[in-house]
Amino acid sequence: MKAHILKGSKQEIAESLVRISGEVREAIVFEEESAPEASKTATDDTEDIFAEMGPFMVDAQDVDDSREGVYTRMQGE
């Protein structure tokens, strides 16, 4: 399976999409919010796009992700 990233205007993306053989399984659309009303409805109606990854995520506090911290063995390793 090969993934395609299409960039450009809405029209350009639509024209490029038509030329690709295969199946469209998912699309991400960025929509500008122009008024405070729009932000209220967006938070009420829009689900978290990363929610499906929740079961696979780890919530760790104070993680040392520096190069030294990543490559240095901890006690017991």
CB 17 within 8 A of CB 6: yes
Long-range contacts from 16-22, C-beta under 8 angstroms, 24+ separation: none
How high is the pLDDT of residue 64? 87
Judge whether 16 and 6 are in contact, CB under 8 Å.
yes
> Residues 39-71: pLDDT tens digits?
555 555 567 778 888 888 888 888 888 999 899
Alpha helices in 28-75 (DSSP H): 36-45, 67-71
Q: How confident is the model at residue 11 (pLDDT cuts 50, 70, 90)?
A: very high
pTM higher than 0.85: no
